[in-house]
Structure 1
Amino acid sequence: MTITDPVITLERFNESHLDGITALYNDPTITRQVLQMPFQSTEVWRKRLASDNERVVQLVALYQGTVIGNLGLEQFSRIRRSHAGNLGMGVAVAWQGKGVGSKLLAAALDIADNWMNLQRVELSVYTDNEAAIALYRKFGFETEGVFRDYAVRDGGLVDALSMARLRRTPKAG
């Protein structure tokens, strides 16, 4: 791809993005780095979109109207965990390393900090996904532990890191 300074826009996931999101997560290279199952239908994503929950923010990155990335941020619903949320993301292979993940993550963390008042944002990432780990570290995420045999991928079990970003505020009491 020889695009110089592409204009990448972010939008909240909506009906017009269904085919693009489905295609993104059905790419075998992306599927092997996330917890989605391969060959998911557009209906699976339509059901996720239908969930009207203000604790869930789904963003898409677009280039000329085409979905090139996605990030989901969910605030935990349990009262004693409502200060925390979890995120997951995927970026199209052709767009990895071109700032799409940074743009999505910056927007999501702005929402987490300034609109949801999250003090903790958590994620899990496969231990061999070095590019993603570097991106998360750039945004202040730290490794908290290793989930051994975390998920099935390519017929075997793979490890994942537990990472979190804490927004330090004075403790009560």
Structure 2
Amino acid sequence: MQIRSAAKSDAEAILAHCRKAFGETDFLMTEADEFNLTIAEEEAWIERSIRTGDLILVAEVDNEVVGMLNFRRSKSKKVNHLGYFGITIQEKYCNQGLGSKMLKQFLEWAEEEPGLEKICLEVFAYNQRAIHLYRQFGFQEEGRKVKHIKRKDGTYADELLMYKFVK
């Protein structure tokens, strides 16, 4: 298992990973049928992320992308000290420490990133596995969006807002 920063050349592998991950879980905001980026669009997103100081980590097993963490720093001056991240891991690779490894590497990067003080995330309130991981790394709940998620079966779920100060 290798975790590294993404490169433009990873675009096709990242797209394949996202399509797989979006199709096998109800814990992500994007549905598989909504995700239709082209390779060129994905390459542009990766290049823009690198150029603007954001971070995309990919986790590989046998040269296949099976997990990803992407972080986007807020660009407005008043909130430039913070940013949001999300993690996707293919179900087959869950509960093997991959999320912890990506989060650890990300937090080490964040602690060294000039001016970055606060890391934020949003997670579905019923995603107990992810919430447990985030709490292990010191993230705390700072808010809740009530009935923010409408699931396929018509039921609603809350979304939690969590944070951690890195400086």
What is the CA distance between 1:21 and its match in structure 2?
1.9
> Paired residue for 2:13?
20
Greater displacement, 159-168 / 67-76 = 159-168
Aligned residues, how many? 160
**TM-score, normalised with respect to structure 1:** 0.83
Where 1:77 maps in the other structure, the secondary structure is coil
- Percent identity between the two aligned chains: 24
1:153 alignment partner in structure 2: 151
SS of residue in 2 equivalent to 1:72 = strand
Which one has the bigger helix percentage?
Answer: 2
Task: Note the alpha carbon deviations across 1:6-61, whole angstroms, 9 max, x for none.
Answer: xx11122223322332222223124x322224232351433422325333111100
3-state secondary structure, aligned to 1:24: helix
Tell me the distance in 2 between the aligned counterparts of 1:45 and 1:158. 30
How does the TM-score come out when normalised to structure 2? 0.85
Distance 1:97 1:117 in 2: 33
Distance in 1 (alpha carbons) for counterparts of 2:78 and 2:42: 29
Residue 133 of structure 2 aligns with which residue? 135
Match of 2:121 in 1: 123
8 Å Cα contact 2:8/2:47 also seen in 1: no
**C-alpha distance in structure 2 between counterparts of 1:42 and 1:10, whole Å:** 23
- Larger CA deviation: 155-164 vs 120-129: 155-164
